[in-house]
Amino acid sequence: MFDFTTITTAIDQFLRSMMPAQFAIIVECILVAACALLAYVMFAIVMIFMERKVCAAFQCRLGPMRVGPWGLLQVFADVFKMLIKEIISINRSDSFLYRLAPYLVVMSSVLTFCCLPFAKGLQVLDFNMGVFFLMATSSFGVLGILLAGWSSNNKFSMIGAMRSGAQMISYELSIGLCMLTVVTLSGTMQISELVEQQHDAWFIFKGHLPAMLAFVIYLIAGNAETNRAPFDLPEAESELTAGFHTEYSGMHFGFFYVAEFMNLFIVAAIASTLFLGGWMPLHISGFDTFNMVMDYIPGIVWFLGKTFFIIWVLMWFRWTFPRLRIDQVPTLEWKYLVPIGLVNLLIMTVCVVMGWTF
């Protein structure tokens, strides 16, 4: 398994040989930030194109086909159009908060994206409290949504923001319980260590039934966290036009649009990291030849393969199930997912203490 630490160490040594250590650190921070933002934008483009094609496949049509071969350049055309669109100012709105909101949303998304371990040694942020930091960075994006709805001076935006805030804060509880279940199983919060511990078997297998149940709950809560169907009540077009970002235009709307798709990628990537081994290959105890063959597949291929499979499943959910009623969304969370998650966490704790995990 290739370790990207060798590349980053070589770059660090080269920069330190060319300039003082302080300037080398500054240059490294700029390079890392540029690479992270470039990867963020490229994954967003892939996600938008994938959403359109998967949607078209479920609806028995082709999707965008005119701009470029198979419509590959359609997303780039849309990005160019978004860049040249005028950013319209709203009368009687809170100008400062109105402009600040989209940056808070995209900042939360980018920080969470930087915590993802794409391969061994290919991770921007890796703390010993990584899971806690991940939950913190992914949580303050709801502030941007609430500010966007309130500062727009629009009743539809305000209703959409309140719906989204209530829904995201509620379902974050189930996501946190699922993450705690994995932390209880592993005994660590460091994301790289979580992946390393799955070298012999992924947590969804090592934790057997509690881990599998936590995985299912996480997928449901993660889908609700991203405000996607069947949990898309904050953006219900038939009721609220476009929800909390109704009054936004130009790149301010583009920030919300990109963050929404990248949040789907982040939810799927966290699921693959916590439950499916992240960049770790599939290993089966006793099958040494099979394990050796699996090790030849690069870690980044494993990570992206698992992530995009989960994304496809979540898109399948979106284009299959009808939208829930407004009363069904909190009922599902507080009457079913939270109690099940708490009991599941207790069962996992008992299994770990008794040594009943694989």
**Could you write out the DSSP letters of every residue in 138-182?**
HHTHHHHHHHHHHHTT-HHHHHHHHHHHHHHHHHHHHHHHHHHHH
Q: Is 188 left (phi over 0), alpha (psi -120 to 50) or beta?
A: beta
Q: Mean pLDDT in the chain? A: 91
Q: Residue 323 pLDDT more than 90?
A: no
Six-digit token pair at 145? Answer: 């949504």
111 falls within a domain: yes
- The answer to whether the CB of 267 falls within 8 A of the CB of 116 is no
Task: Let me know if residue 35 belongs to a domain.
Answer: no
Cα–Cα dist 266/113, whole Å: 6
* Contacts with 111 (C-beta within 8 Å, 6 or more apart), sequence order: 125, 137
pLDDT at 132 over 90: yes
Q: Please state, in angstroms and rounded to a whole number, the distance separating the CA atoms of residues 28 and 203.
A: 34
pLDDT at 24 over 70: yes
Least confident of 65-74, 201-210, 227-236, 342-351: 227-236
Torsion of CA 182, 187, 191, 194, to 10 degrees: -70
Find the mean pLDDT for residues 174-189. Answer: 95
Mean pLDDT within 107-112: 95
What's the one-letter identity of residue 350?
V
**What pLDDT score does 39 carry?**
96
In a domain, 83, yes or no: no
Domain annotation covers residue 77? no
Statement: the pTM of the whole predicted model exceeds 0.85 = yes
CA distance 105 to 305: 27
Structural domain tally of the chain?
A: 1
* Interatomic CA distance for residues 222 and 164, integer angstroms: 13
> What does the pLDDT average to over 218-238?
86
Q: Is residue 39 part of a domain?
A: no
Whole-number percent of the chain with pLDDT over 90? 69
Over residues 160-185, the mean pLDDT reads 93
- Name the residue with higher pLDDT: 183 or 83: 183
| pLDDT exceeds cutoff 80 at 324 | yes
Q: How confident is the model at residue 3, as a pLDDT?
A: 84
Whether 175 maps to a domain, the answer reads: yes
- How many other CB atoms sit within 10 Å of the CB of residue 13? 11
Q: What is the pLDDT, as a whole number, of residue 357?
A: 80
* pLDDT attached to residue 180: 95
Domain of residue 205, residue span: 89-354
pLDDT surpassing 80 at residue 313: yes
Across residues 302-324, what is the average pLDDT?
Answer: 93
Q: What are phi and psi of 172, to 5 degrees?
A: -65, -25
**Residue 234 confidence (pLDDT) above 80:** no
Backbone angles phi, psi at 145, to 5 degrees: -65, -45
pLDDT value at residue 240: 67
Tokens of residue 315, six digits: 């898109």
pLDDT computed for residue 52 by the predictor: 94
For residue 78, being part of any structural domain is answered with no
Per-residue model confidence (pLDDT) at position 283: 87
Q: Is the dihedral of CA 309, 39, 182, 3 positive or negative?
A: positive
Domain membership of residue 348 (yes or no) is: yes
Nearest residue to 349 via CA among 221, 174, 187, 118: 187
Residue 65 in contact with residue 71, Cβ under 8 Å? Answer: yes
Q: Distance between CA atoms of 208 and 250, rounded to whole angstroms? A: 48
Cα dist from 285 to 95, 303, 347, whole Å = 60, 21, 25
